Amino acid sequence: MRVVIDTNVLLAALPKSSRFRPIVSALSEGTIELVVSTPILLEYQEILTRKTNTLLPIISWNSSRNSLLLLE
């Protein structure tokens, strides 16, 4: 399944104790595929950087699967 994830949902899903954590797990396992544009990626990075006070490489390109991966 291909999905677009709102930045607030992504942020809420990151903590391991979050009730939304299955979203991150599904992304990691490849059960769902994150569909994004450059503006969405920049928003993810901006919000996560602001919330964590550090610049995070949150997305990685998986060339063997031709897909983006969310880094944990």
Domain count, the chain: 1
How does pLDDT run across 61-72, given as a tens digit for each residue? 555 555 555 554
pLDDT of residue 18 exceeding 60: yes
Do you know the residue count of the chain? Answer: 72
pTM of the predicted model, to two decimals? Answer: 0.63
Measured in whole angstroms, the distance separating CA 10 from the mean position of its chain's CA atoms is 6
Distances (CA, A) of 30 to 12, 23, 51, 55: 19, 11, 26, 25
End-to-end C-alpha distance for the chain, whole angstroms: 20
pLDDT digits (tens, 9 = 90+) for 37-49: 888 888 888 887 8
Range of the domain at 22: 2-70
